A and B are shown apart, each in its own frame.
Chain A
Amino acid sequence: DSGVTQTPKHLITATGQRVTLRCSPRSGDLSVYWYQQSLDQGLQFLIQYYNGEERAKGNILERFSAQQFPDLHSELNLSSLELGDSALYFCASSELAGGPDTQYFGPGTRLTVL
């Protein structure tokens, strides 16, 4: 158990809908990262928050947004969902924000868009 929690574990929804994925980092970790794992794709970095502020942005679509709250938990909002958004979404956390920091991954949320 990495200490990172994600809810829900599974989510099934329809095209055009909006969903929110939630992540609680390990105690003491200030950085939260969101990744997408699609079929045949490696883990793709979406976005990073550090102590409440957006720190880095990757291949995140404009239909997706995220935020980190004062208690350091984070939410990833996916809107106007398309079939291609079906994927495993991971949250990870680290103590600080640098490259050498080990990232600890949550169990993931599997999103299925029908």
Chain B
Amino acid sequence: ILNVEQSPQSLHVQEGDSTNFTCSFPSSNFYALHWYRWETAKSPEALFVMTLNGDEKKKGRISATLNTKEGYSYLYIKGSQPEDSATYLCAFFNQAGTALIFGKGTTLSVSS
């Protein structure tokens, strides 16, 4: 059974803090790793798709890294702002699979 684990489940930070979350996935037959941002009452919004070991992607204050050999990805948010409050989902696709397997997400709350 393919499992995608995200930690922490939730966290609360102050405006201006930098933070990071972890996504763990099976390292065998890796194909792609997706990160999504999901705000309350909205739909998941794609942040990054990464396919190569060592990939680093950046969008504004948010960046992500990928280690396919050990099966983890980190998402970093620099200088968190209240509008960063959302659930961050990662999803894994392996070569043998036919669909994205989503983790349960990390819910970030940023206080001003």
The distance from the CB of B81 to the nearest CB of chain A, in whole angstroms, is 22
Contacts A100-B51, A103-B100; is A90 near B43 (CB within 8 Å)?
A: yes
Q: Do the beta carbons of A105 and B44 come within 8 Å of each other?
A: yes
The contact of A56 among B34, B51, B91, B99, by CB within 8 Å, is B99
What does the 1/0 interface line of B33-64 toward A look like (CB < 8 Å)? 01010000011111001010000000000000
CA gap between A65 and B102 in the complex, in Å: 22
What does the 1/0 interface line of A86-106 toward B look like (CB < 8 Å)? 000010000000111111111
The distance from the CB of B6 to the nearest CB of chain A, in whole angstroms, is 9
CB-based nearest B residue for A105: B43
Q: How many residues of chain B have a CB within 8 Å of chain A?
A: 26
The distance from the CB of A106 to the nearest CB of chain B, in whole angstroms, is 6
The contact of A99 among B36, B45, B93, B102, by CB within 8 Å, is B93
Q: Do the beta carbons of B98 and A42 come within 8 Å of each other?
A: no
Q: Which residues of A have CB within 8 Å of B72?
A: none
The contact of B45 among A42, A55, A100, A105, by CB within 8 Å, is A105
CA gap between A42 and B94 in the complex, in Å: 18
Q: Do the beta carbons of B104 and A45 come within 8 Å of each other?
A: no
The contact of B34 among A33, A48, A103, by CB within 8 Å, is A103
Q: Do the beta carbons of B98 and A100 come within 8 Å of each other?
A: no
Q: Do the beta carbons of A56 and B44 come within 8 Å of each other?
A: no
CA gap between A43 and B104 in the complex, in Å: 7
Within 8 A of B (CB), among A47-73: 48, 55-58
27 pairs from A and B in contact (CB 8 Å cutoff)? A2-B43, A2-B45, A4-B43, A42-B102, A42-B103, A43-B102, A44-B102, A48-B98, A55-B98, A56-B98, A56-B99, A58-B98, A90-B44, A99-B31, A99-B32, A99-B95, A99-B97, A99-B100, A100-B31, A100-B32, A100-B51, A100-B93, A101-B49, A102-B34, A105-B44, A106-B43, A107-B43
B-side residues, CB < 8 A to A, are 4, 31-32, 34, 36, 42-46, 49, 51, 89, 91, 93-95, 97-105
